[in-house]
């Protein structure tokens, strides 16, 4: 069974709340237990610097978020769980991607455009208060994703643009330097619950209407009792539609429990009683995790050890891959023959041909095989998806008869014979076997 890599990042600027648990933590922990999945979870503390200038808040949030995920059942032995700033290869990749990413692409980023719109409304200059970090945010996110060759990135619809940008960056790099990056895909769960907050709006720290995930039991009761409801008296039928209380309960209860509360709404349950039912149901689920959370928060050194162990696992992948990328772009030891030269240095290995995958203006995906001296040996026709082009490349690299089997997907190159192409592919297979 092939393994699919999932990657999720959590920005370390706030305290996890019930909405985070329902929308991200719980489904991600459950997904990490599926067969055939390799999961990467990271604390995005570099990203936090764009939004937060309080170092104490960033450190505290890192601790709270790590403890929350672990308390919710994330198994650091089964997933790669790390802190972004512990992986120095990520900012290096950020720079490599910056050198192949057009400014025009970044101009279209939602966060940047939102800042400009806000400035326009306030009568300020378009880039007032916009840092280079905010502008380059999509590139750093691209580095996070592409470093670990993630196939799927769970995101909400408002984040899909970042995955599309990461794909563009990967395609640009692959086009210039050969096929190194996997093109990621957004994994959108249409059924993820978005919880309302204390005031009925979406639960968000920006609205200051959250219910912290592991707040003490009595504080949890107080917050739930303060949920906004309408003025209907006990005995009056109540609507479940638009009821923040009912929506939160539905996210924590079984279908049978939800139906029972629905009937009580229709029968005119008092709001105080409904809030008590919600409180007991949420606390029933959260209490065991809260105990684990409090133990972890009391022992920060344990969390630090877990994150450093995760970073070691992450770097075992990132370090050799970064060296591969450095070699690809020409950041090489001067003791080795420069790739692209027509012959190898004495006693060295011959430079190999390389596949380059790219996207054209027609929206189709193509690849070509380029010899070590820069001559084009093979050109594909267009593919509808990058995965299809990648699969064709994989076959050519591994299967001796693939050249004939894929003849209808390959366009002739003037001055190049089939034997030229066959010899180049044989050289690639021999190098792979070696």
Q: 3-class SS at 48? A: helix
- Strands, E, within 49-91: which ranges? 80-83
Q: Write out the two tokens for 333.
A: 């030891």
CB 272 within 8 A of CB 229: no
Binding-site members for L-tryptophan are 144
The token pair that represents 134 in the structure block: 């905010």
Give the angle 290-295-301 at the CA atoms, nearest 5°: 135
Task: Quote the DSSP letter at residue 84.
Answer: G
- Is 46 in contact with 88 (CB distance < 8 Å)? no
- 3-class state of residue 179 by DSSP: coil
Contact 131, 319 (CB under 8 A): no
| Token representation of residue 343 | 């012959």
- Point out the annotated binding site for ATP: 11-13, 19-20, 156-158, 195, 202-206
CA distance 252 to 285: 8
The binding site consists of 11-13, 19-20, 144, 156-158, 195, 202-206
Both tokens of 82, joined, read 């790390």
């Amino acid at each position: 069974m092939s393994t699919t890599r999932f990657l999720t990042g959590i920005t370390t600027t706030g305290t996890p709340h019930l909405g985070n648990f329902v929308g991200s933590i719980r489904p991600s922990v459950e997904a990490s237990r599926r067969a055939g999945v390799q999961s990467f979870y990271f604390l995005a503390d570099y990203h936090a610097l764009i939004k937060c200038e309080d170092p104490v808040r960033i450190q505290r949030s890192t601790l709270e978020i790590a403890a929350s995920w672990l308390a919710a059942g994330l198994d650091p032995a089964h997933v790669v769980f790390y802190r972004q700033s512990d992986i120095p290869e990520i900012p290096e990749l950020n720079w490599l991607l910056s050198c192949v990413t057009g400014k025009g692409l970044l101009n279209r980023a939602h966060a940047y455009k939102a800042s400009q719109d806000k400035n326009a409304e306030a009568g300020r200059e378009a880039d007032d208060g916009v840092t280079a970090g905010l502008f380059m945010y999509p590139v750093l996110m691209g580095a996070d994703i592409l470093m670990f060759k993630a196939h799927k990135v769970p995101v909400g619809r408002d984040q899909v643009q970042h995955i599309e940008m990461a794909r563009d960056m990967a395609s640009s790099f692959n086009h210039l330097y050969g096929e190194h990056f996997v093109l990621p895909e957004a994994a959108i769960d249409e059924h993820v619950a978005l919880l309302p907050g204390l005031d009925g709006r979406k639960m968000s720290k920006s609205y200051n209407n959250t219910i912290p995930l592991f707040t003490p039991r009595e504080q949890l009761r107080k917050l739930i009792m303060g949920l906004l409801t309408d003025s209907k008296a006990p005995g009056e039928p109540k609507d479940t539609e638009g009821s923040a209380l009912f929506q939160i309960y539905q996210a924590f209860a079984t279908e049978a429990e939800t139906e029972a509360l629905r009937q009580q709404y229709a029968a005119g349950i008092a709001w105080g009683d409904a809030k008590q039912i919600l409180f007991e149901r949420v606390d029933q689920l959260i209490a065991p995790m809260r105990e684990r959370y409090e133990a972890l928060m009391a022992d920060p050194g344990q969390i630090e050890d877990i994150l450093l162990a995760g970073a070691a696992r992450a770097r075992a992948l990132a370090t050799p891959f970064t060296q591969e990328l450095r070699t690809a772009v020409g950041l090489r030891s001067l003791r080795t023959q420069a790739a692209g030269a027509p012959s190898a240095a004495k006693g060295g290995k011959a430079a190999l041909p390389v596949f380059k995958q790219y996207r054209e203006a027609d929206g189709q995906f193509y690849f070509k095989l380029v010899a070590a001296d820069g001559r084009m040996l093979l050109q594909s026709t267009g593919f509808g998806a990058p995965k299809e082009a990648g699969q064709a490349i994989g076959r050519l690299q591994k299967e001796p008869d693939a050249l004939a089997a894929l003849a209808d997907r390959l366009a002739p190159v003037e001055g190049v014979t089939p034997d030229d192409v066959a010899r180049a592919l044989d050289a690639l297979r021999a190098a792979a076997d070696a």
